[in-house]
Amino acid sequence: MLTPFAAMNAVGTVAFGVAGASKGVDADLDYLGVTVLGVVTALGGGITRDLLVGRVPSALTAETDVLLALAGVGLAIALVRAERGRIADSPLLTIPDAVGLAAFTATGAIVGVEAGLSPFGVVVCATLTGVGGGAIRDVLAQEVPFILHEDFYATCAIAGGTVFWALWTVDIAPPGPTVACVVVALGLRLVGMRRGWSLPTVR
Amino acid sequence: MLTPFAAMNAVGTVAFGVAGASKGVDADLDYLGVTVLGVVTALGGGITRDLLVGRVPSALTAETDVLLALAGVGLAIALVRAERGRIADSPLLTIPDAVGLAAFTATGAIVGVEAGLSPFGVVVCATLTGVGGGAIRDVLAQEVPFILHEDFYATCAIAGGTVFWALWTVDIAPPGPTVACVVVALGLRLVGMRRGWSLPTVR
Amino acid sequence: MLTPFAAMNAVGTVAFGVAGASKGVDADLDYLGVTVLGVVTALGGGITRDLLVGRVPSALTAETDVLLALAGVGLAIALVRAERGRIADSPLLTIPDAVGLAAFTATGAIVGVEAGLSPFGVVVCATLTGVGGGAIRDVLAQEVPFILHEDFYATCAIAGGTVFWALWTVDIAPPGPTVACVVVALGLRLVGMRRGWSLPTVR
């Protein structure tokens, strides 16, 4: 049975696969390099999450996630061939990417509370799950990770993880905390993109 | 009860938070980027250590470490606003940073012997704990990690870890190995900075 | 007793130590930086493998691997002093490196099936074990990881891991899958280097 949550997670994995692969295409990598960047972006956050709490990464024990990531890579290649332009800024990519950010943040928060992490640990685990794949991709592609300069990306994950923890702590029944986390992270991301929100620099 | 060791560890966490955040300020990152760099620098070494020996990172299950790292970030921002200059080379930073290097090296060595690592494993675990946070920070900030070119930084951690292992192997009672590790690592670092010691290059 | 497999693994560890250290020499690092790059390259893939399946890295609990890595570093320094040129493209390096790639890919596949990973998980684990050390080395040295642009390197590991999994799944008795994995990965690498095989780019 495909739960709404699994559906969002699937959309996110595909979207992150597309985002990673499209960055590889823009960098003129060969098919393997493009595939590696796509798979790393789609699976990197979840693998980081599982390692942090001492689990064997589910991306390596189940088959679905890798297939979805590869589907994202294939989709990116098809889009590039059809459009012949940069696809990184297309709503075709940014909206599913926002869904993925929100869904992954929620899975990180769920795994974090199940593992008995502290409040800070839950928020860190949620944030790393949401943004980790993209950060690894940027390090491999030799760019300063977008989470360090893209305003209102990691912020959305931090807010979503915090809301999840707060509701879970006051015993809101599932799937209440998960839904709230996704709504907050996704809403902040979509509104932030539309309005061009940014955080101030220190000087 | 605050043991001398916990006190040193706290000083080190704050100092590493300051060091990481100040690098983010120097790179004109926004508040979130500065905070991420500070927290990663302060917690990265300990998280690496715990992952290596199969523990859930204590930084995610306890609250103290994250609070101390955030205190370091706040302190860095306050220092930057007061001084309006680069703070990376100020003794305000380099001396606590040396204390952190020594304290973290000792925690890595302790965890390593408790996990039954080989002599080399203990030294590697001690060194990665001491220098890992800064190395992750440099990779994120797109710099060649300082441990690869800053002379007499990783060297101090390697020496401290080796001394710890040697004393622990000949059954010196605690806290003997810990104290010796801290004294050696901290002493080498402070003397090396003052005298400008460096290692020769291969050619 | 030194099995053929352990012998190949030893050759690979030394070769990867040489490859990492020689990159450090080419980048004018000091002795410590050269040693760190060599050891990271030699041990990074295996440590990644063990972390993925929840083991304490064998590189930290046994002594052999670190000694072999250090032997590789020493050998690289001796070669540099003797030749006074770049050694990265010498057959002295590329052939043992190919042996290491094949041997490490096989150890990753073995650990993967023992840990009950999915087919994809086995291939990912085998590939990361084969290429992980070099990828970490390139990130530390601030280069785009060679696996993203060096054609027919990761490809050989993926092919070897896939063959291992296929033969293991149809119950071929050991060491059948291991031998086939090594032959496929090593053969593809050596032939690919000689003939200059490459994969097409997406556009």
> What pLDDT does A144 receive?
67
- Residues C147 and C131: beta-carbon distance below 8 Å: yes
> What pLDDT does C191 receive?
92
Nearest chain A residue (CA) to B79: A202
Please write the tens of the pLDDT for every residue from B90-108.
777 788 788 889 989 999 9
Average pLDDT over residues B8-33: 84
- Residues C40 and C20: beta-carbon distance below 8 Å: yes
> What pLDDT does C94 receive?
80
Distances (CA, A) of C190 to B100, C15, C106, C152, C194: 47, 15, 17, 10, 6
Contact A56 C52 (CB under 8 A): yes
Average pLDDT over residues A81-92: 69
Contact C60 B200 (CB under 8 A): no
Nearest-by-Cβ selection for B30 from A54, A116, A200: A200
Nearest chain C residue (CA) to A74: C202
B31 touches chain A (CB under 8 A): yes
Residue C77 to chain B, least CA–CA distance (Å): 7
> What pLDDT does B58 receive?
86
- Residue B121 with chain C: CB contacts under 8 Å: 57, 59-61, 66
Please write the tens of the pLDDT for every residue from B154-173.
889 999 999 999 999 999 98
Nearest chain C residue (CA) to A60: C121
Provide the 3-class DSSP secondary structure of residue C196.
coil
Please write the tens of the pLDDT for every residue from B31-63.
888 998 899 899 988 888 899 898 899 889 988
Nearest chain A residue (CA) to C56: A54
B46 touches chain A (CB under 8 A): no
B71 touches chain A (CB under 8 A): no
Share of chain A above pLDDT 70, in %: 88
Provide the 3-class DSSP secondary structure of residue B39.
helix
> What pLDDT does B1 receive?
47
Nearest-by-Cβ selection for C118 from A24, A28, A60: A60
Residue A51 to chain B, least CA–CA distance (Å): 7
Per-residue pLDDT of chain C (203 residues; tens, 9 = 90+): 467 667 777 888 998 998 888 888 888 888 888 998 899 899 988 888 899 898 899 889 988 888 999 999 999 888 888 876 666 667 777 887 888 899 899 999 999 999 999 998 999 899 989 988 888 888 887 676 666 666 678 889 999 999 999 999 999 988 899 999 999 999 999 998 888 777 777 66
Nearest-by-Cβ selection for C31 from B142, B147, B199: B199
Amino acid identity for residue C143 in this structure: E
Nearest-by-Cβ selection for A61 from C117, C139, C200: C117
Contact A154 B36 (CB under 8 A): yes
How far apart are alpha carbons A128 and B76 in whole angstroms?
A: 24
Nearest chain A residue (CA) to B66: A120
Nearest-by-Cβ selection for C60 from B125, B135, B151: B125
Contact A201 B30 (CB under 8 A): yes
> What pLDDT does C147 receive?
63
Cis amide prior to A175 (ω within 30 degrees): yes
- Interface list for B 139-198 with A (CB within 8 A): 139-142
> What pLDDT does B4 receive?
64
- Residue C202 with chain A: CB contacts under 8 Å: 24-25, 29-31, 34, 77, 80-81
Nearest-by-Cβ selection for A54 from B30, B56, B67: B56
How far apart are alpha carbons C130 and C134 in whole angstroms?
A: 9
Tokens matching residue A145? 């990770």
Residue to test with chain A: of C51, C55, C120, most A Cβ within 10 A: C120
> What pLDDT does C69 receive?
93
How far apart are alpha carbons B137 and B48 in whole angstroms?
A: 13
Q: DSSP string covering A75-125, please?
A: HHHHHHHHH-S--TTSHHHHHHHHHHHHHHHHHHHHHHHHTT--HHHHHHH
Share of chain A above pLDDT 90, in %: 35
Average pLDDT over residues A63-76: 91
A84 touches chain C (CB under 8 A): yes
- Residue B63 with chain A: CB contacts under 8 Å: 118-120
Interface pTM (ipTM) of the complex? 0.77
Tokens matching residue A1? 């049975």
- Residue C28 with chain B: CB contacts under 8 Å: 201, 203
Q: What is the CA radius of gyration of chain C?
A: 16
Spatial CA neighbour of B101 closest among B39, B20, B11, B34: B11
Q: Which chains touch A (3 or more CB pairs under 8 A)?
A: B, C
- Domain layout of chain C by residue ranges: 4-195
How far apart are alpha carbons B26 and A148 in whole angstroms?
A: 13
Nearest-by-Cβ selection for C116 from A54, A61, A66: A61
Tokens matching residue B26? 């120097």
Amino acid identity for residue A84 in this structure: R
B3 touches chain C (CB under 8 A): no
Nearest chain B residue (CA) to C21: B202
Residue to test with chain B: of C32, C36, C66, C67, most B Cβ within 10 A: C32
